Structure 1
Amino acid sequence: MSLLSRKPYLVAIAVMAAAAAVSMVTSLAT
């Protein structure tokens, strides 16, 4: 967890990538 607290921008990028992947999957599934 220390790595996450040391690099908060990596967490933000991961969240953005996850949100983009979810939106892509949902758009393809419909």
Structure 2
Amino acid sequence: MAVDIFVQIASIIAIAAAGPLVVVLLSARGGNL
């Protein structure tokens, strides 16, 4: 099914985007605090 491939691609993109996003949020909090 194409849906399975779409889900896998979406999950990979989410993980790739969540990594740097968490680092930015943590660094921003550390700078503010």
TM normalised by structure 1 equals 0.63
Structure exhibiting the larger radius of gyration computed from Cα positions? 2
Q: Determine the structure 1 residue equivalent to 2:12.
A: 19
Gap runs ≥5 in structure 1: 1-7
RMSD: 0.8
Identity rate of aligned residues, in percent?
Answer: 13
Shift of 1:17: 0.3
Gap runs ≥5 in structure 2: 24-33
The higher relative CO (CA closer than 8 Å, separation ≥ 6) is in 1
Aligned length: 23
Shift of 1:15: 0.3
Which runs of 4 or more aligned residues in structure 1 lie more than 3 Å from their structure 2 counterparts after TM superposition? Answer: none
TM normalised by structure 2 equals 0.59
